[in-house]
Amino acid sequence: MTAIRDDLERRLALIGEPASRHVFTLLYPEAARVAADAADARRRAGLSLGPLDGAIVSIKDLFDVAGEPTTAGSAIRRKAAPAERDAPVVARLRRAGAVIIGKTNMSEFAFSGLGLNPHWGTPGNAADPSLVPGGSSSGAGVSAALGTSDIAIGTDTGGSVRIPAALNGVVGFKPTARRVPLDGAFPLSPSLDSIGPLARTVAACAETDAVLAGEEFVPLRPLGLRDLRIGVPRGLLFTETDPAVAQAFEAALGRLGAAGARIGDLPFDDLMGRMAEATAAAPLAAIEAAEVHADWIDAEEASFDPRVHARIARGRPVAAGTYIRMMRARAGLIRAADERLADVDVMALPATAIPAVPIAAVAEDDAFTRTNLLMLRNTMVGNLFDLTGISLPLPGQARPVGLMLLARHGQDRRLLEIAAAVEAQVC
């Protein structure tokens, strides 16, 4: 069995190769070596702190680590006061024996589904460095795919775990919002934010999710696929879908159907239409982000990524009363979606309508905006309607494609068990 310290040194060497350029914003080589040596010592003594003991883990560059500023992918935050303590999720990872190798790159302030960053550079996609990595957890997706970390911890406000997972060919899990504590994670939209893992397998995501949520891990028991009820929300969420994505998705449904799953259409356009009406004043993420950044959005405007600044600024004119009515309407729609999903075990659709596009193709603002909206469209459903979701990599594609499964809020464990069965059948 390879020593964890030797494995760590191999990963550190990989990080120095061209494919990993811009993937990390900060490395912890000495602290990681101490943690790896401790894990090796426990292994020699026949001791273990759990399934993450000795796992090489990266964390997104918006989690507090004691003694350093939390930059959240922004030049503005380089001069922020150092964090006084580790974020709870970071502390839980350390207690579980994880070897934290470094912080991964991200879209500035987590506000993009494409993963570009003009301050720290843009990581190249793991499948082809000329392609976008997906965001906002861009470095997390690339690190998990390249193997510079076993597990990458990201955040998901509109798809920021599931999109880079889909575009880089790994598994990405979004837990029910508020199940994992958000303290010590720089916020984008507190009503929508959640923290989840990216890894090569559903099992690794499940192990990590238990640690992040402060729960005792029990090994997954994949659910049988026979008579599994899968709802497909055909309609708005299938428009403008790339032919390769559509073909991969339908092939996956075919394999699930052959294994005995019951697949049928699940109407969802009406709920999406009502959500669009409720949030017509401005995107919820923009409204809440405008409050987060209120103290410096004007004074530091020149230091922002202009595209991020423009999206945050969209939320500024929204009055408090409008926001309150929006949240009240959203709460009703969350209940309506929960009732709709009661008739199925999971809802299935492509994680993203399109695969990764060339970075050069989104150089102009119009192309960036159009592509970013399309990239976020499917995953955003999970956040707006307070669902739990996962993206699974579909095989045989030149550019990685993700299969997304969504389940009712609070059904995280059940979703992971279903995903493990689907993974075995189609991935």
Tens of pLDDT, residues 352-376: 999 999 999 999 999 999 999 999 9
Given the residues 112, 136, 191, 391, the one annotated as active site: 136
Written as six digits, the tokens of 229 are 């009820």
Predicted local confidence at residue 413, as pLDDT: 97
Tens-place pLDDT, residues 266-278? 999 999 999 999 9
Q: Do residues 171 and 404 make contact, with C-beta atoms less than 8 angstroms apart?
A: no
Annotated active-site residue 303? The verdict is no
Predicted local confidence at residue 173, as pLDDT: 99
Predicted local confidence at residue 222, as pLDDT: 85
Q: Do residues 349 and 404 make contact, with C-beta atoms less than 8 angstroms apart?
A: yes
Q: Do residues 24 and 32 make contact, with C-beta atoms less than 8 angstroms apart?
A: no
Select 4-213's CATH number: 3.40.1390.10, 3.90.1300.10, 3.30.390.30, 3.40.250.10.
3.90.1300.10
Residue 209 pLDDT grade (very low, low, confident, very high; cuts 50, 70, 90): very high
Annotated active-site residue 58? The verdict is no
Q: What are phi and psi of 63, to 5 degrees?
A: -95, 135
Give CA–CA dist 20/38, Å, rounded. 27
Residue 31 pLDDT grade (very low, low, confident, very high; cuts 50, 70, 90): very high
Given the residues 160, 189, 191, 391, the one annotated as active site: 160
Annotated active-site residue 136? The verdict is yes
Written as six digits, the tokens of 239 are 């428009």
Tens-place pLDDT, residues 172-188? 999 999 999 999 999 99
Whole-model pTM: value is 0.98
Tens-place pLDDT, residues 218-266? 999 988 999 999 999 999 999 999 999 999 999 999 999 999 999 999 9
Q: What are phi and psi of 402, to 5 degrees?
A: -115, 140
Tens-place pLDDT, residues 102-144? 999 999 999 999 999 999 999 999 999 999 999 999 999 999 9
Predicted local confidence at residue 133, as pLDDT: 98
Given the residues 60, 137, 189, 191, the one annotated as active site: 60
pLDDT at 1 over 90: no
